[in-house]
Structure 1
Amino acid sequence: MKKSSALLALLLTASMPAHAQQAGKADGIFQDMPEKFVLKDQDFDFVRKDIMIPMRDGVKLHTVVLIPKNAHNAAILLTRTPYNADHMTSLAESGTMTSVLQGYDNMPDVIADGGYIRVIQDVRGKYGSEGRYVMNHPMRGPLNSTKVDHSTDTWDTIEWLIHNIPESNGKVGIIGVSYDGYTALTTLIHPHPALKVSVPMNPMVDGWMGDDWFHNGAFREEMLPYIYNQDATPKNTLKWWSRDYDNYQLFLNGVSAGSIARAHGMEQIGFFRQILAHPAYDDWWQSQALDRILPKEGLTVPTLLVHSLWDQEDNYGAIALYYALQKVPASQPDLWLAMGPWNHGGEIKEASTLGPVKLRSDTGLYFRKKILEPFLAHYLKDSSIPLPARVTAFRTGTNEWESMPALSPQDCTTECTVLQLATHHGLTLNPTTKDAETVQYVSDPEHPVPYVQRPVISKNLPGSEWQWWLASDQRNAASRPDVASFTSQTLTKAVSITGQPLVHLTASSTGTDGDFVIKLIDVYPDEVPDQPEMGGYQLMISADILRGRYRNSFAHPEAIPANTPQTYRMRLPIVHHTFLPGHKIMIQIQSSWFPLYDRNPQTYVDSIFNATPDAYKPATISIDTAGSWLQVHQTSPSPL
């Protein structure tokens, strides 16, 4: 019996794989986990490969390649990311391409259903890739004296892919949201010949003018946790910490953004040191802004820019770049634009609502099936597939898709709507006369206006309003004494607008610095029969902030002369909206938007990052209604 048992055990052991035979006793206990688990993926509908692709300087970048089984003559869709390629391609239970491509930047109804070879790569210095990470890595030039940048890394990656993936047809497209949209744009600088199409969605373009870090000089304080998490360690192993559940209280107690950052050790992070060193729009920012770089290079690859009209993170870049490229005749044949009623990256998901607003259709699905899918297929598969219109835009209010040959010009010269501030907190449309009145409010840095109702919860925590804060109800702000509201009469006919509203504000302050937030709002009727909870809702259509010290020059700040009327001009983010009959139009003006943006001391100091508590002083703001208005293109909707 003993001999028979021993023989049976020997036979069983011999039939086991080598890695299973190694699982035995170690250090007196049975070894439970193999040194390396070998995945049985023969039933999957794709093949996964993890590859370290060498760059021209010897650094190797971790790249995940997903190849559909039976793929032949298939195009490659590439994304380059700092957000963990392994996590973005983590295997799901069903073992299908569709189930794997569910995460960030992935659209299974376009990529998997389209039979594309999916490639996702960690940018240098992040997660599985070698090298050193640099936030928004500058292109080779004044800020980068090396021989490599995102452009060269993409070139080298494409060169490797087309020679080492025999299932491909040699055509590559690049696609990505946010930072990955930024890397999709950098690919257009000296592009590889095999790059046939680029789709930058909600891309970071200019971090000072209006994307992640600043807006017209006001620092986006709520981005400190992102910088900390992303730039402190290669794999985001250190996480931003806070003892305060309410970010409003956290940043109020911390006084200045610089003080809060130093309390978290962020002076060790090179990118944050650059922010401290460059609070104004100097050469450091200007020389890396892609809406300045790409027009000089010229667009030679078909590019579909994708913009979200309610993008809470990067609502500047795609439109700024579109207008910059439109001015270059040679670039126009390769330029397309799609914009819809989405938040940041909302176009890659189900999108039948805009915050609480019902849109009556899945606008994300429409974008992917009617715009993105044929655009990719035309250049990567079959050129006989019709292309979408040069500009496809969703008009909120009427909730219809429209097409046009180009966006309206930035500056409105004909068919303009003027929204003029009026007496008694009124707002008049295209007035023939202007009534003068001074409207005042006191802006107190100790009680700044919150950008959402408190508590202000960090974007990664349950209950956060971050995703849809741009579509949140503005009635709480309207009820505050430090917010000036100007409202039209109830509309008797529809008012349709498009383009970037131009603000002309005349105001004085008792302080020597200050911010101005301008919000264009659609006020719903008191009763909305098919959606009662929307009765009286105040929906922001467009809004932005201007730091007063930059009213004359973004590069050269100067104090505001106290008690002296000044002119403040700025463009708001693009709109494509119809105010319906029964609604009202409102403009709100305030001097803080906290803690989204850091508090302005309202006393001029060299650097607000280093402002001391005694610098923060209340100021009385006086608005001249006759000298204040908003101008925007008026349109006649042409639905698809």
Structure 2
Amino acid sequence: MKKAALASAIVSLVCLASATAFAAPLPGQESSKVTPDMIQTGSDIPAKWVQPQGNFDYVKREVMIPMRDGVKLHTVIMIPKGAHDLPMLLERTPYDASGMASGNSPHMADAVWSGDKDWADGSYILVWQDIRGKYGSEGKYIMTRPPMGPLNPTKTDDTTDAWDTIDWLVKNIKESNGKVGMIGSSYDGWTVAMALLHPHPALKVAAPESPMVDGWMGDDWYHYGALRQVNLDYFTGQMTKQGSGQSVPRENYDDYTNFLEAGSPGAWADAHGFKQLPWWNRFAAHPSYDAFWQLQALDKLLVQHPSNVPTMWLQGLWDQEDIYGAVHAWEALEKAGHGANNHLVMGPWWHSQINRAGWNLGPLKWPGDTTAQFRQQVIIPWFNHYLRGTPMAKPLPEAMIYNAVEQHWDSFNDWKPASEQKLTPIYLQGDFGLGFEQPSGGSDSYVSDPAKPVPYLQRPIPAQNEDRWRTWLVQDQRFVVDRPDVLSYTTPVLTKTVTVQGAPIADIFARTTGTDGDFVVKLIDVYPGSVPTDPTMGGYELPVSMDIFRGRYRKSFSDPSPIPANEVQQYRFRLPTINYEFKPGHRIMVQIQSTLFPLYDRNPQTYVPNILFAKPADYKKATITIEHGADGKSAVLLPVVATTPR
């Protein structure tokens, strides 16, 4: 046999042997055979999955609670296993009740959202409910549905829905002791306040946290008439779906550019389909403080319908969203003689931070987790007192307000509403000085250009950046101090502590070449150039209290009027409440400007009927002159108190 033929034969034998080897079953292996149980023609997802929960320390129920008009509201209930005679904690929300108890854990404290972890210790039945028309609830959603009356001709509102819900709970949750407390922040705080207008007898205690009380005067929508236009995303997120909608899509990363290019807020809204939203159409038709806003102001309604429910009005000292509501609700009730069962608490927090960790607020660091400490040491024992009958170590004071400089809580049994404060003017002086002595005279001017508004944060300002949004109220103001359209007035270095407790009042005398205009006033603590304990705070310009005022409302919030050009006018408005100490070595600064963009919409500085729909040609430069002499002694009126050793 030739070599080539021999090689070919050998290869053929090897391949045949290999094929035979692979085809033969291995020892112990049988050949494959398809049987009927291997075949699935339906879905591998069962019609209903039931998770074994034998090791869970709670039972979770989802029910539809009927209201008096037949509408049913989706409600999630978590009950500790073996519970009996436990109080119930109720939160009513437009933000998805199921999401507040979505953790797949056998332990109740791990299954709830951060705000309820300290409550989920087995001693409370926790209840969350979707308000009408949101997520799993039936009915029609109406933004902060007004109470029954001129703005709501139906027979239901969030007061009746809270009443009906509590009534159902005490009759159907047999593990309870028949007592209910309500809690919630922001919109959820609003639902607590609404429940207080006519509380169910089983509602024994309540804590509205940073509640939406007056959306025009100083909560989410406006501040003294200036529109908080970045909140327009909330409209689409809340009202384009029954669940969670999306924010407005952005052309640019920097929102400063987005809103500047859009022109007016109305142009922005029209471009993004807002005319489809009934709420926007009602909202946009009422830019002034008319009956639409006045009849929804909860501080006024609470005084008209005071309750006997012990209530803690709680908010953050640097609440970037709802810094108005809790303080004004408490003050209104206090002034009307209902202070005995109403308490004010202000912590060193951003909006709703009470429900999260509280170790710091931006660059400000605290000696411990202030929110966890407050929940565990104050609010839960206080709720326990009214819901379980347990004694408190000491009574809750009229007001508890954190001292951010000394880093401790101060308690007050004689905290005064703003209208009863004793005020000390700190005057704007020549050469951009600031002091308690009478000013010698003079004025300062700047050009406010709507084409170049002062940003409220250092640019770029992304639309979605939670950390920067939460802490913008403690942003170091050095980023604007050198702008020609920002006036900064500063005291000499302090030689003794200046303690301010209450609400400062801006009292500005100014002229403008325009016929409308805004005024932003900031009260700032200027740190020494060197801070050995925290070098990053050297020279920091910390805003302590600030707000914006729309000039057309200087005489009336409901009836705006043009500003007479080149005539001195007085602009007097309240700044947010503080409990603050300006220490020796620091300086006090007052800054004045006309824009805080894009957080607030630009004033065209030309009087138009509805600023929301100002035309491009309406936006004009104006020269603003701040007086600090014979024509007006501009000042910030401070509630200065004598410093008392702690």
Q: TM-score normalised by the shorter chain: which range applies?
A: over 0.9
Answering whether residue 358 of structure 2 is matched by residue 342 of structure 1, we say no
Cross-structure match for 1:61: 73
Aligned-pair distance for 1:298?
Answer: 1.2
Counterpart pick for 1:25 among 8, 32, 41: 41
Distance 1:37 1:250 in 2: 47
| Inter-partner Cα distance in structure 1 for 2:287 and 2:176 | 46
> What residue in structure 1 maps to residue 108 of structure 2?
97
Structure 2 residue 488 is the aligned partner of structure 1 residue 477? no
**Whole-angstrom distance in 1 between the partners of 2:77 and 2:561:** 52
| SS in structure 1 of the partner of residue 496 of structure 2 | coil
Contact 1:370 1:388 in 2 (8 A): no
Structure 1 counterpart of 2:396: 388
Which residue number in structure 1 is paired with residue 14 of structure 2?
none
- The separation in 1 between residues aligned to 2:492 and 2:369, in whole angstroms, is 33
Of the structure 1 ranges 309-318 and 371-380, higher mean CA displacement relative to structure 2 is found in 371-380
Asked if the contact 1:412/1:631 (under 8 Å) is kept, the reply is no
* Shift in Å, 1:335: 0.6
1:164-203 mapped onto 2 (5 Å cutoff): 164-203=172-211
Displacement of 1:365 in angstroms is 2.1
The answer to whether the 8 Å contact 1:511/1:620 transfers is yes
In structure 2, list runs of 5 or more residues that go unmatched.
1-31
Pairwise CA distance, 1:171: 0.2
Amino acid at match of 1:342: W
Change beyond 3 A, Cα 1:149–1:412: closer
1:357 aligns with 2:364: yes
Q: CA RMSD of the aligned region, Å?
A: 1.8
Deviation at 1:360, TM superposition (A): 2.4
Q: Secondary structure at the match of 1:625?
A: strand
Aligned mates of 2:245, 2:275 — CA distance in 1 = 18
The 1-side partners of 2:566 and 2:68 are apart by: 59
Confirm whether residue 236 of structure 1 aligns to residue 248 of structure 2: no
Matched residue type, 2:164: D
Match of 2:124 among 109, 116, 122: 116
Give distance in 2, aligned partners of 1:302 and 1:252.
47
Question: 2:113 and 2:424 mapped to 1: Cα distance?
Answer: 43
Give the drift of 1:362.
2.1
Aligned to 1:434: 439
Alignment equivalent of 1:134, drawn from 115, 118, 142: 142
Amino acid at match of 1:130: E
Partner SS for 1:434: coil
2:157 to 149, 164, 172: 149
The question of 1:43 aligning with 2:55 is answered yes
Give secondary structure in 2 for the equivalent of 1:338.
Answer: strand
* Structure 1 counterpart SS, 2:257: helix
Q: Does structure 1 residue 373 correspond to structure 2 residue 380? A: yes
Tell me, in whole angstroms, the C-alpha distance in 2 between the residues paired with 1:421 and 1:114: 57
Whichever residue aligns with residue 95 of structure 1, its letter is P
- 2:469 matches 1:466: yes
Q: Is the 8 A contact 2:234 2:247 kept in 1?
A: no
Give secondary structure in 1 for the equivalent of 2:545: strand
CA deviations on 1:470-524 (whole Å, 9 max, x unpaired) are 0111001112110000000001111110111011100000000000000000001
Alpha-carbon separation, structure 1, partners of 2:644 and 2:259: 46
CA contact (8 A) 2:289 2:557 kept: yes
- Contact 1:524 1:582 survives alignment (8 Å): yes
CA distance in 2, matches of 1:239, 1:536: 37
Preserved contact between residue 53 and residue 63 of structure 1 (Cα < 8 Å): yes
1:124 maps to amino acid: R
Question: Which range moved further: 479-488 or 377-386?
Answer: 377-386
Distance 1:413 1:219, change over 3 A: closer
Q: Does 1:630 align with 2:636?
A: yes
Q: 1:496 to 1:228 in 2, by over 3 A?
A: same
Cα distance in 1, alignment partners of residues 432 and 425 from structure 2: 16
Contact 1:505 1:628 in 2 (8 A): yes
Counterpart of 2:269 (choices 261, 268, 283) is 261
CA distance in 2, matches of 1:197, 1:539: 36
CA distance in 2, matches of 1:472, 1:393: 22
Q: Which consecutive aligned stretches of 4+ in structure 1 deviate over 3 angstroms post-superposition?
A: 411-414, 636-640
Provide the rounded CA distance (Å) in 1 between the counterparts of 2:339 and 2:420: 21
- Residue 635 of structure 1 and its aligned partner are, at CA, apart by 2.3
Distance in 2 (CA, whole Å) between partners of 1:182 and 1:633 is 29
Partner residue, 1:453: 458
Deviation, 1:413, is: 5.5
User: Counterpart of 2:340?
Assistant: 333
Q: Which residue of 2 aligns with 1:18?
A: none
Matched, 1:85 2:91: no
AA partner of residue 617 (structure 1) = K
Counterparts in 2 of 1:489-500, with a 5 A limit?
A: 489-500=492-503
3-state SS of paired residue (1:321): helix
The letter for the 2-side match of 1:101 is V
AA at the equivalent of 1:368: R
User: Quick check: 1:34 aligned with 2:18?
Assistant: no
Matched, 1:444 2:449: yes
Q: Report the equivalent of 2:233.
A: 225
Aligned length in residues: 611
* Distance in 2 separating the partners of 1:64 and 1:413: 45
Provide, for residues 348-397 of structure 1, a one-character-per-residue CA deviation record: whole Å limited to 9, x for no partner: 22212221012223221232122201110110112423432221111121
Rounded Cα–Cα distance in structure 2 between residues aligned with 1:301 and 1:228: 35
Q: Please report how far the alpha carbon of residue 202 of structure 1 lies from its aligned counterpart in structure 2 after TM superposition.
A: 0.4
Provide the residue aligned with 2:13 in structure 1.
none
Q: Percent identity?
A: 47
Q: Which amino acid aligns with 1:76?
A: M
Do 1:408 and 1:498's aligned partners in 2 also have CA atoms closer than 8 Å? no
Give secondary structure in 1 for the equivalent of 2:483: coil
- Match for 1:537 among 536, 540, 552? 540
Name the CA distance, whole Å, in 1 between partners of 2:446 and 2:153.
50
Shift of 1:410: 1.0
Deviation string, structure 1 residues 578-602 (Cα, Å, up to 9, x no partner)? 0111111000000000000000000
Name the CA distance, whole Å, in 1 between partners of 2:293 and 2:229. Answer: 18
Tell me by how many angstroms 1:638 deviates: 5.6
Is residue 402–residue 637 contact of structure 1 (8 Å, CA) maintained in 2? Answer: no
Aligned partners of 1:412 and 1:632 also within 8 Å = no
The answer on whether the counterparts of 2:497 and 2:643 sit within 8 Å (CA) in structure 1 is: no
SS in structure 2 at match of 1:507: strand
Aligned residue number for residue 107 of structure 1? 116
Aligned match of 2:531: 528
Distance in 1 (alpha carbons) for counterparts of 2:56 and 2:271: 49
Per-residue Cα deviation, 1:238-276 (whole angstroms, up to 9, x for no partner): 442112111111100000001101111111111111111
Give the drift of 1:33.
2.0
Mean alpha-carbon deviation: is it higher for 597-606 or for 401-410? 401-410
Shift of 1:625: 1.6
User: Does structure 2 conserve the Cα–Cα contact (< 8 Å) formed by 1:543 and 1:572?
Assistant: yes
Matched, 1:311 2:319: yes
3-state SS, counterpart of residue 377 of structure 2: helix
- Closer, same or farther in 2 for the Cα pair 1:87/1:638, shift >3 Å? farther
Is 1:597 the counterpart of 2:597 in the alignment? no
